[in-house]
Chains A and B, each alone.
Chain A
């Protein structure tokens, strides 16, 4: 019972990371694909402005995911860490480079170094969700043994894992594009609104196709999970599909697009959770209730999460609201040369890339 509640808490914080952290990674993807210095200036500036004040707060959900995982389900955590060590290492390095590259780019004056930092940020924004996806794939396909002590390459390089890695990247790009449409609209930038809605649609279609492919692939890699996704978790699967269709049909929907897109991603996460319930590591006997933590630990996690909801909830709403009202801006404006933050890759020295 209490283990189920903690399972829900873990899934909820994974969902929040997937939506908010995912959108930040996706923004890096669009930064990567924004083209030459000159052409990419406007979208890169919007991306920079949109994620600068919020990415660190969004990133903390990842810490929460890890901490809840290892505190509530320590044996399962150790098994996953052992089995999928390599993609997890790569994801950790990706997280490091993404954040550092992004923070550095803002403060660098010279174009070529700015470009190097920007490329570090953008490429690691692509790789990090990919490797995280493969780890989820390893778990979902039952490739993590209960008493794992060694890494297994095959666990995360099977077809489902690779598909999930790609799906994660596409879903991040999709979320980011939908969010950026709204950001552009709030700045009355019609050009960028169209620019990102086109990308939202494309990414949505790719993510949809990858979701279907993953589902079909699960039919052979983890039939039990496939069966439950099309049975017990079917309403959530349908909800996810519907949300995707609504957004793809009209990504510029003024108010609802962001909520609908986020709901779609949440439905996928919870669909996975419901389909797996109560198993924590498919293919093993490890469930939510026997993964190593005593009752008191689980109770403490519930209390802690209540505190998080009470303290962090309002603070986070405040931050996002200030950001929505454009209260938050670079402090350097007015001091020193034109802040690269306002115009990444900008300046008079704008030779084109490539």
Chain B
């Protein structure tokens, strides 16, 4: 049995599908877990510093939504911990002692996050303004550092190193090199920025939708701006990091890069394909830009780009079209978001206000979805693109997968369960939003903060 057929048999396909389902679901919550605390703190900061009651109300409400999202994120993340062993015993049995270390560090930060999230979420009524604000800062910091630690594991799977193996046993480990492996330098910032983009644009999207429905008030514009501005400011940085990452992958994992860009044979003057489907050596329905790929990889038309034909068919990832189209979707969505940010920047520069055209608010409303699509597509590129390896060059996904039958069953159960979970989570967020709308901002008892303080100061005067 050659490796190509092996990949399609056994439990490895359902195991991969299940990992993709659960990780693809969790990663959205992970993004919100990493970056939503920062947005909430930003709103609270504006509320405290500028005595802005609207921002304060937003902070309180977002933290309530954060409570639900963090809880669901915590448990879906735990399912992934179980799956590491249940779906990939081969990986953990062989490399657990290496890739476990960044996970341990992540555990430390996750703990910190859980503790201070509890203090922050449930401290609104009894902690004073700035004390409450500072109780939230560790969540934001731990979110970033914890996220970096998990990405360290994934980056290590792409560029394994920092250990020696003799006779099938790991004999020594350099934790520093494992954590700060070769791919960590670009994967970590790329994903942390992605988390901020997803969160910021999702928040902005919610309020842009409200504005489209005619709720044009300070509350909605403030909510939109607190989400949109940080995300839009970080978008160029993300595109820069992504560009650096792509070039690094061209040398670190040339076959993955070749699939991303439809490079079959190693050559110079390689064109860039926008879209298109690859079938038997032909790209159909794609736009061909001559020499651009070479130019992007080495800043010269003459740059040689490695093709996937340098390795045997068994060592290439399946479905080059999927990888390429996902890569294009990610980059495309990134540029649409860049455009939306530039629009706001331009209007603000000329007129000191937000854009008025309805089409901009439609774009704002879908910006959250676009950011999620970009992030998910990026994960498809990096994960499918690494196949057939789970640990690049060292262990195939098939070797890592469980030999236990019944993964089809657990996969079906997981799909059903996560569908319900996703639907209910969104339903709960809608319940919250409806409750807030019927309450109205002015009735929203802010326990401390500008309103009550101003009132108290006036009373004293």
A151 to B409, CA, bound (A): 14
**Across the interface, do B403 and A304 meet the contact criterion of CB distance under 8 Å?**
no
Q: Which residues of A contact B125 (CB under 8 A)?
A: 329, 331, 333-334
When C-beta atoms are compared, the residue in chain A nearest to B95 turns out to be A74
Name B82's contact: one of A88, A307, A336 (CB within 8 Å). A88
Q: Is B213 an interface residue (CB 8 A)?
A: no
**Minimum CB–CB distance for B99 against chain A, Å:** 8
**Across the interface, do A100 and B60 meet the contact criterion of CB distance under 8 Å?**
no
Chain A 44-62 residues near chain B, CB threshold 8 A: 52-54, 56-57, 59-60, 62
Q: A99-B74, A297-B101 are in contact. Are A335 and B444 (CB under 8 A)?
A: yes
**Minimum CB–CB distance for B162 against chain A, Å:** 10
When C-beta atoms are compared, the residue in chain A nearest to B68 turns out to be A103
**Across the interface, do A322 and B123 meet the contact criterion of CB distance under 8 Å?**
yes
**Minimum CB–CB distance for A154 against chain B, Å:** 15
**Across the interface, do A332 and B64 meet the contact criterion of CB distance under 8 Å?**
yes
Q: Which residues of B contact A182 (CB under 8 A)?
A: none
Give the secondary structure class of B's interface: helix
Interface residues on A, range: 35 or more
Q: Which residues of A contact B121 (CB under 8 A)?
A: 53, 331
Name B74's contact: one of A56, A81, A295, A331 (CB within 8 Å). A56
**Across the interface, do B93 and A74 meet the contact criterion of CB distance under 8 Å?**
yes
Chain A 318-336 residues near chain B, CB threshold 8 A: 318-319, 322, 327-336
**Across the interface, do A57 and B111 meet the contact criterion of CB distance under 8 Å?**
yes
**Across the interface, do B417 and A327 meet the contact criterion of CB distance under 8 Å?**
no
Q: Is B129 an interface residue (CB 8 A)?
A: no
Give the secondary structure class of A's interface: helix
Q: Is A293 an interface residue (CB 8 A)?
A: yes
Chain B 69-94 residues near chain A, CB threshold 8 A: 70-72, 74-79, 81-86, 89-90, 92-94
Q: A74-B97, A77-B92, A327-B126 are in contact. Are A318 and B119 (CB under 8 A)?
A: yes
0/1 string, B231-249, CB within 8 A of A gives 1: 0000000000000000000
**Across the interface, do A78 and B85 meet the contact criterion of CB distance under 8 Å?**
yes
Q: Which residues of B contact A315 (CB under 8 A)?
A: 111-112, 115-116, 138
**Minimum CB–CB distance for A162 against chain B, Å:** 21
**Minimum CB–CB distance for A2 against chain B, Å:** 13
Q: A56-B117, A292-B93 are in contact. Are A335 and B403 (CB under 8 A)?
A: no
Q: Which residues of A contact B435 (CB under 8 A)?
A: 109, 335-337
Q: Which residues of A contact B89 (CB under 8 A)?
A: 78, 81-82, 149
**Across the interface, do B173 and A67 meet the contact criterion of CB distance under 8 Å?**
no
Chain A 39-96 residues near chain B, CB threshold 8 A: 52-54, 56-57, 59-60, 62-64, 66-68, 70-75, 77-82, 85-86, 88-89, 91-93, 95-96
**Across the interface, do B432 and A107 meet the contact criterion of CB distance under 8 Å?**
yes
Q: Is A108 an interface residue (CB 8 A)?
A: yes
Q: A300-B173, A311-B112 are in contact. Are A331 and B64 (CB under 8 A)?
A: yes
**Across the interface, do B171 and A294 meet the contact criterion of CB distance under 8 Å?**
yes
Q: Which residues of A contact B406 (CB under 8 A)?
A: 85-86, 151
Q: A85-B86, A102-B71, A331-B64 are in contact. Are A336 and B112 (CB under 8 A)?
A: no
Chain B 229-286 residues near chain A, CB threshold 8 A: none
**Across the interface, do A67 and B97 meet the contact criterion of CB distance under 8 Å?**
no
**Across the interface, do B119 and A67 meet the contact criterion of CB distance under 8 Å?**
no
Q: Is B290 an interface residue (CB 8 A)?
A: no
Q: A63-B78, A74-B95, A322-B123 are in contact. Are A336 and B115 (CB under 8 A)?
A: no
Q: A315-B116, A331-B63 are in contact. Are A104 and B97 (CB under 8 A)?
A: no
Name B104's contact: one of A67, A75, A89, A311 (CB within 8 Å). A67
**Minimum CB–CB distance for B164 against chain A, Å:** 8
**Minimum CB–CB distance for B173 against chain A, Å:** 5
**Minimum CB–CB distance for A89 against chain B, Å:** 6
When C-beta atoms are compared, the residue in chain B nearest to A290 turns out to be B169
Q: A60-B111, A77-B92, A331-B63 are in contact. Are A296 and B76 (CB under 8 A)?
A: no
**Across the interface, do B431 and A293 meet the contact criterion of CB distance under 8 Å?**
no
Q: A319-B118, A335-B444 are in contact. Are A71 and B103 (CB under 8 A)?
A: yes
When C-beta atoms are compared, the residue in chain B nearest to A335 turns out to be B444
Q: Is B96 an interface residue (CB 8 A)?
A: yes
Name A108's contact: one of B106, B163, B431, B445 (CB within 8 Å). B431
Given A75-B93, A109-B431, A315-B116, 6 additional A-B pairs, CB 8 A: A71-B96, A71-B100, A72-B100, A312-B115, A322-B123, A335-B445
